[in-house]
Every structure is written in C-alpha cells, then in structure tokens.
Structure 1
Amino acid sequence: MMRRKEFVGSFQVPEEIEREILSRLPVKSLFRFKTVKKSWRNLIGDSTFIAMHLNCYGSNTDGFLVHGCYSYGIQLSRSSFDQPRKYIIGSINGLVCLSDKIRCFLKKDDRLRIHICNPSTREIMELPQCYHDHNDFLSGIGFGFCRKFNDYKVVKVSYRRDSSSSEAQVQVYSSNMNSWKMIKIENPSLWTLLPLYRGSGCFNGAFHWQGLKKSSSKKIIKTVVSFQFDEEVFREINLPNDPDFQGDVQFFITEYRDFFSSLVVKQGPNVNVYKVWVMKEYGAPDSWIKQLTIETFSFKIAITDSFGMIPKASKWTANLSYYYNGIVLVARKAWFRCPKKGSTTSFQ
C-alpha cells in the first residue's frame, strides 16, 4: 500500500493534458484554480490559453440574460466604481465595456471614464484618458476585438461644436499598447452617428451604429456605419430599399443565427409588428431578405441594445413568456432568464 501511495504521489500530469482539461472548465472554476499553484496561475493568464478557452468554452449558448432598459444608466452594486451610473457600450468574449458618458458635450478638462471589466473574475481596468478639445461633442463609442493581433479595442468618435466643418475626430484605444491614438478617416463628414441606444453592436470584427446621411437629392436616409477593428476603417452598410425602413420606424442592429440582422419595430395601438431582416452575405446589400414577421398584442417594450447584454444565443427566444426563433422581446424594467429547456423566468 505504501508503494502505491508513493507511485500516485510521484505521478505528474503532462502539461498539454492539464492545458486541455483547464480550457474546458468554466471561468469561475479557473478563477479558483489560479491559487492552486503558480504554473496554473501563469497558464490561466496566458493570452494563448485565453484564446483556447474561448474556442472550447465560449461557444456555449445554453442560456442568456436580458435586461430591457430603454433610456436609463445601470447601477453597478458592490463594485469599485465611484459613479452611480454606467452605460454598457458592448460586450465580447466575456468582457464588458462601460462608459460614464454617452452622447454629450465634453469640455477640455472633463474626464471620460471608460472601463473594461470581466464580470466572471471581477477584474476591472480603467482606460487611460483620451484627448478631447474644448466643446467636443461625443457622438459614439464602440468596443470590439481585433483577431489579427489578439487586441481588444475601443473607438471614440467626436465632433467639434464650434467648428464650421462637421469633420469627425476619431481615436482608437489598443489593449496591447494600453494607449489611444488619433486616426485619419476618409469622408469624415459623410455620416452622423445616432445615439448608441438606438441599436449598435459588434459583429464580424466590427462595431455598428445606426446612422444618417444625405442622398444626392439632399434627402436624409437611414444607414448603418461600421468600424472595422482589424483595418481601423469606417464602412457603410446600406439598409434594404423597402418601406419597412422608411418613415418614422424603429430598427435595431442585432445578430440572428450567426447572420448580421436588423429588427424593425412598428408599435400600434392594438398590435405590435416585428420584422426580421437578415443579410445573408455580410456587407452585400443585395443579400438582405425578410426572414420573419411577428405580430403580438400591443405592450410597451424596450429592445435590449447598448444598454443591455445579450450573449450570443441563436436557438431560442423570449416574447414575454414564449420563444420564437431567435428574437428577444422584453417588457420594460423586467429581467428575463431564458434557459435552454424553454421556460422563462422574470425578475422584477
């Protein structure tokens, strides 16, 4: 028996097997295992292992949590933030980007506090201050991931209030460099970014905003503006030339079954109509198709966008108390947890 104990005690699991096992564990377990031994702590913090863990575990879509909040900041309890209100800019790979300001004028001495946090590990990092001049108007903030360089980036777009030109000033933060840089853009006055809560999100390595632009006939038309994090360039995605996107309608940028999509909402006195448009080939405007049309009884809703997090979920949905093919509709000021089995739980 003594020899067996000695044999077991001297057995060492190969490093590649340890790496494979750890990469399949939940984040909370990894957070605890960092204290087991130094080699595990170094491994779990390694960027190569983090990418491996995302591939193995990050694709799990067994459930999601939705907060339907329309025009309010969020209260972060038991955190290190000293401001009571924060706005969610976006989330990717389990990281969440928060800002204390959106769509506002900034004086030269004003602080714009942007944080990147990992809710699973409770780690929070405040970004260094970015440059802004006197009376800059903060138009948009985006958050995403550059796969080419394994780099998380934040883009900030602002305009000079007292300038005769509508030229945008664009700055990009790199987590690898932990610094901001100014970049030049083509056609800087082409788009006017709409408030982030009107539908924004990260898809296919780019952050997306709703936008407005002037047509050749000087008519204001709706469009989508994207910032590609790999190339650090802006691009335009034309919306379908369809009455669904004309007039006073709401549309929201989202993801539907791994496709770039737009949810059009028309609220009536008795019936709400939701139409899902899907871009079958990303970036090709001719590939837009109308995938779904849903009619429900009328109730006040808030479509979760930049003020809420929706981890990727493409198998089910919740319309108050039932699912419908990937569209998430939530009542105002309510939380819904939608597990894989098909039931819905509401938390007021």
Structure 2
Amino acid sequence: MSKYLTEDLAIEILVRLSTKDLARFKCVSKTWRDLINDRGFLERYQNISPAKFVSFYDKDLYMLDVESKRPAITNPLKLDFPLDQSMIDESTCVLHCDGTLCVTLKNHTLMVWNPSSKQFKIVPNPGICNDSNILGFGYDPVHDDYKVVTFIDRLDASTARVFEFRTGTWRDSLRIPKPDWHYRDREGTTLDQYLYWIAYRSNTDRFILCFNLSTHEYQKIPLPVYNQGVTCSWLGVTSQKLCITEYETCKKEIKVSVMDKTGSSWNKIISLSTSSFISVLDRIYDYDVEFVSLTKKNDLVVTFTGYKDVVDMETEERMKTKVFLYNTRNETFEQVQFCNSLPGLRFLLECVETPKITNRIFT
C-alpha cells in the first residue's frame, strides 16, 4: 500500500465504499486492483454490506431495501433488465452468487447477469422442458470456477448437468437411479461449495439434498426432528451456516433452526407465533404465510397473503398481501409498505452487491 496506509487499514476503508467507487479505485494501481479482486476481500465486503431483496413486481425485477430505517419502500430500485421484459414473468426463478444473478427465461435458457456491472451472458438450455427442474448456482473453490447445476429427470434416472463457465459447456455428472422424491422449490441455496434443496417423499418423509460443486457428489441431510410434519419450509444462510425456516399452518407458528458445521444436528433459534401480526379488523381475510426469509441481520421478512371468499367482490379486493419485518433482537415487528400496492409483489431472494467482476463468468 504505502508507508502511511497499511493493507489492513486500506481494506477496512475500501470495504465500506460503494461498488461504483471500487470500480474506479481498481484503476488506481495493480496492487489495488488485486486487493479488491481478492476472494478474502470479497467475503469481507459481503459480510458487512447490507443485503437487499430481488423481487418480481408489475412485470419487472426490483431491488428492495427491506431493512432500511424507513418501513415504507416508496422508491424501489427497478433493475435495468438487459433483455426484452417479455422473457420473464411471475414463474421466473432467480439465483444469486457473489453479486451475480442467474435468471430463468421463458424459452428455458438461462441468463447470468451482474446488475452492478451490467454484464450478462446467455447460458444454453441444458435440456429443461418444464418449470420443475431444480437449479443451483455457485462457486467451486477447488477449480476456481462458477457453475450452474440442474437435474434432468428421465424415467430410469435423474442426471445432474453442470455448466462450467471455465469451459463454457454443459456436461453430465452425477446420476441418481430412479429417485422417488420431489422438491420443495426449484432454487438451490448456496453455501461454501455446496448447493441445497429440500426434498420430500411425503409430508412426513423429507430431507435435504446436498450437492458438492467440486466433487459432484451428493448426500442426504436429515431435517430437524420436530419439523418432520411441516410442509411450508425455506432454506437460507445465516452467519455462514445453513438454516431452515418452517411455518406450521395449524399452530400458525414460524420456527427457524440452524445446522451445525458437521451437518449432524440442528439448533432452534426462533419460535414465533404469527397471530399477533394480523390486526383484528383484518381477520375477515384468511391469511397464510407465503414467504419467509431470515436476513443477514437475523431479522425475519414475512409475507402474508389473505383471501376473502365474497362472490360480489372484485378479484383484487378478495386478496390482500402484507409484508412484515420482525426484529429478533427486541422481538418487535413493523409492517413494510411498498408503493401503496402490494398485490403481485413476489420476493425471490436476498442478495448482496459485490465489487468483483467475475471474469470467469463473462469472458
């Protein structure tokens, strides 16, 4: 760095700057460029940077700052989608890794896209012909490569197809003969070099399918014992650990559990009744939890959708959507307002901008 500024101090200053500023500072010198592109700097930047949610609303993708000081999101950031907007709709899946998004398109091709740098690349269809094939997007540290993973189901087996950005090609990898399970969601959760999906045979027979991006091997991880009968569940990451959020419809209760590093046990960290979220006047609607996510600050974002079965009401009036942010530190919650019109808003995932331009992806 210099005799006046140590590298450690420079890092602490740089990680607090915007991605636009860092893009300029990488031009200062080769030393600064290498420092900002370093994997350790990237991880430090992501750890202290605020996370935002990518959401689908009114036929566009938006970036929402749900944990801002103001609970009202009056000016959501509309993302400058690089293709025709007709290529995405409410069924679009979005995955995230190191500030880059992987987006499914209507023709079953995929697009990787960095909204900060505006770079994008089309990934050819690996053989997907419907909207049920699971997907994952992550970083393989062993081979220093980013990868997209999907499972192509046949009558006799399910084959993992892996797109390696290093070679720019899909290749068949893991083959699972006659799997007898289905998946909770298409989108895989990324942590370290692993992808995770909730799989189930029935409401009482569920597990997590874990795929290693480096070895292309898989394993089954048991879910928390006390949650085996729950069907509404979401995977996430908190404090660099895998977590699962479960909503028990009968008890109207949300539970969050964190898996230890060995993958052998779970620790329940949150147990929350949702009955207090909905006011008495609103209880004429039959509300249920549609989406739950544990944020970087360990707060909960909870989306409720309520229905009122009245024949002579307009369709829009029969349905209500409410979003709440629950602060786990002081056990308080507040309603999040979004442009005075929440119906149609769909949270997709939490993501963090990154200053690193992943040249491995876009070259």
TM over 0.5: yes
The counterpart of 2:303, out of the listed 312, 319, 330, is 330
Structure number with greater Rg is 1
The Cα offsets for residues 104-160 of structure 1, whole Å up to 9 and x where unpaired, read as xxxxxxx53211111222222222x24428x67852111111122221110011113
Relative to structure 1, the CA distance from residue 184 to residue 136 in structure 2 (aligned partners, 3 Å threshold; closer, same or farther) is farther
Give the TM-score of the pair, scaled to structure 2. 0.65
Long gaps (5+) in structure 1: 1-11, 102-110, 318-326
Give the SS at the match of 2:37. Answer: helix
Q: In 1, Cα distance between the equivalents of 2:326 and 2:115?
A: 19
Q: Which moved more, 1:174-183 or 1:17-26?
A: 17-26
How far has the Cα of 1:93 moved from its partner?
1.7
The counterpart of 2:274, out of the listed 267, 278, 296, is 296
1:132 paired residue number: 127
1:3 paired residue number: none
1:91 paired residue number: 96
1:107 paired residue number: none
Native 8 Å contact 1:276 1:292 kept in 2: yes
How far has the Cα of 1:19 moved from its partner?
12
2:37 paired residue number: 49
Give the SS at the match of 2:166. Answer: coil
Counterpart of 1:156, as a letter, is T
The Cα offsets for residues 17-63 of structure 1, whole Å up to 9 and x where unpaired, read as 699569534311123446x57x56x974x6982424303322114x3
1:280 paired residue number: 260
Counterpart of 1:126, as a letter, is I
Give the SS at the match of 1:196. Answer: coil
Counterpart of 2:268, as a letter, is K
1:115 paired residue number: 111
The counterpart of 2:48, out of the listed 37, 60, 65, is 60
How far has the Cα of 1:275 moved from its partner?
1.3
Report how many aligned residue pairs link the two structures.
Answer: 289
Counterpart of 2:45, as a letter, is Y
Counterpart of 1:159, as a letter, is D
2:70 paired residue number: none
2:223 paired residue number: 239
Relative to structure 1, the CA distance from residue 116 to residue 19 in structure 2 (aligned partners, 3 Å threshold; closer, same or farther) is farther
The Cα offsets for residues 272-306 of structure 1, whole Å up to 9 and x where unpaired, read as 2111222223421xx1233321112254433257x
The Cα offsets for residues 197-232 of structure 1, whole Å up to 9 and x where unpaired, read as 5x7411232111111248xxxx97111111111111
2:212 paired residue number: 228
Q: In 2, Cα distance between the equivalents of 1:31 and 1:338?
A: 35
2:338 paired residue number: 347
Q: In 2, Cα distance between the equivalents of 1:203 and 1:124?
A: 23
After TM superposition, the structure 1 = structure 2 runs for residues 183-262 of structure 1, keeping only pairs within 5 Å, are 183-185=173-175, 187-196=176-185, 200-213=188-201, 221-242=205-226, 244-246=227-229, 249-262=231-244
Relative to structure 1, the CA distance from residue 265 to residue 53 in structure 2 (aligned partners, 3 Å threshold; closer, same or farther) is same
Q: In 2, Cα distance between the equivalents of 1:69 and 1:336?
A: 17
The Cα offsets for residues 233-257 of structure 1, whole Å up to 9 and x where unpaired, read as 1211111333x321x6312112234
The Cα offsets for residues 139-182 of structure 1, whole Å up to 9 and x where unpaired, read as 2111111122221110011113xx4x2x0122101122222111
Long gaps (5+) in structure 2: 63-78, 279-286, 306-320, 340-363
The counterpart of 2:143, out of the listed 137, 146, 149, is 149
Native 8 Å contact 1:334 1:347 kept in 2: no
Q: Which structure: greater strand fraction? A: 2
Percent of residue pairs identical: 17
